[in-house]
Amino acid sequence: MALPIVGLIYIIWSAIKIYTLGFFALLRQIIQKHKAAEVKLHTGKVALVTGGTCGIGFHVSMGLVSKNVHVVMAGHSIQKGEDAITRIREEYPNAKVDFLHLDLSSFKSVQTFVAKIKARGLKVHVLVNNAGIMFAPYKETVDELESHFQVNYLSHLYLTQALIGILEDSATEDCYARVINVSSIVHNVGSLSLQSIGRRCSHCWEYSPHAAYANSKLYITLSTWYLSELYRQENQKVTVNAVHPGIVNTDLYKHVHPSIKWFLNVLAHFTYLTPSEGADTILYLALTPDVERESGWYYDNCQKHKTCQLSYSEKDIKEMFTISTDIINSKIR
């Protein structure tokens, strides 16, 4: 009986931490002035945007297209991809925009996606790892991993590493390739248990969707720093930065419990950022010359911000990265 009670406390406490942090983050967001991205045309550049067909990702795609960037939207719904292209071309008839299928719950799908990019001979100047899920019930992917862990974090890590050669070849001394990882302020309440990374749950009381989401965003933030150091040491012309897009009114909240969802819907209508505003810091990192060669940072509202205390433990971050790559390698053999 003790284990289910402890598990229930863990589940409730994880939710309390996220909503408390979210409340104070929303207050700060209301008080501070939102900064829009001011960027010039970038004709000739190519950007990949995961989750680029809806929500923040769609407005990132739209924003990039508006600056003459060739955008490849990646997503799991072909219909949403076609609809997104139609919407973009209604606004920008001459837009260079494509869609490629990508299911981040499958490493095989990531491999297929990368193979298609290579077969097209495309350069990739910007990679926006935006797609994700939030507060979803426990579910294992086809690779037998918890869904938040693989969809939000591990598949994006694999995608980035699989594309590093193309990113490097697309860069110049004057214009580095850029990787933007969409994290969240909730990484601050994530936990790093090295023994539990990638662990499957056997009982319902072992799983908190709030903790799973926060942990995935923590892994994203920590791996951003590690990759930036790795690429710097290897003299690769690729920068990697993480971003909190703000508290944004999107469909990500569909898994929120009905007891609180109605309140959040009201709050969202009056106080949350729009998806277009949520795209601004991502566009800033993707295109502005202000961050040329800046790497390993975490941005919020187009400004650098400190990350959680765990992000200063190089030993733990290195071990987390090693465990993550070991899991990937064990699944793709």
Which class is domain 2-332?
alpha beta
Give which of 127, 141, 134, 160 is closest to 57, Cα–Cα. 127
Q: Which two tokens stand for residue 218?
A: 């923590």
Q: Which residue has the tokens 């970038």?
A: 42
User: What stretch of H or E contains 129?
Assistant: strand 126-129
Summarised one tens digit per residue, pLDDT across range 163-182 is 999 999 999 999 999 999 99
Q: N- to C-terminal Cα distance for the chain?
A: 41
219 is catalytic: no
**Block residue for tokens 């920068």:** 239
Residue 258 and residue 186 in contact, taking contact as beta carbons nearer than 8 Å: no
Residue 1 has a pLDDT of 41
Could you give the CA distance from residue 245 to residue 249 in angstroms, rounded to a whole number?
A: 11
Cα dihedral 128/133/134/139 (nearest 10): -150
CA 163 – CA 142 distance, rounded (Å) = 22
Question: Which of 261, 13, 324 lies closest to 134 in space, CA to CA?
Answer: 261
- Give the C-alpha separation, 307 to 289, whole Å: 23
| Six-digit token string for 156 | 């994006």
CA atoms within 13 A on the CB side of 206: 9
CA distance 300 to 295: 15
From first to last of the 333 residues of the chain, give the pLDDT tens digit. 446 788 889 899 999 999 999 999 999 999 998 998 888 888 899 999 999 999 999 999 999 999 999 999 999 999 999 999 999 999 999 999 999 999 999 999 999 999 999 999 999 999 999 999 999 999 999 999 999 999 999 999 999 999 999 999 999 999 999 999 999 999 999 999 999 898 888 766 789 999 999 999 999 999 999 999 999 999 999 999 999 999 999 988 888 888 788 888 888 888 999 999 999 999 999 999 999 999 999 999 999 999 999 999 999 999 999 999 999 999 997
Determine which one of 153, 176, 207, 213 is catalytic: 213
Characterize 259-277 residue by residue with b for buried, 16 or more Cβ atoms within 10 angstroms of its Cβ, and e for exposed: eeeeebeebbeeebbbbbb
Domain boundaries, the chain: 2-332
- The shares of helix, strand and coil residues in the chain, as percent rounded to the nearest 5, are 55, 15, 30
Virtual torsion, Cα 127, 138, 244, 153, nearest 10 deg: -30
Q: Specify the pLDDT at position 203.
A: 67
- Are the beta carbons of 192 and 309 closer than 8 angstroms? no
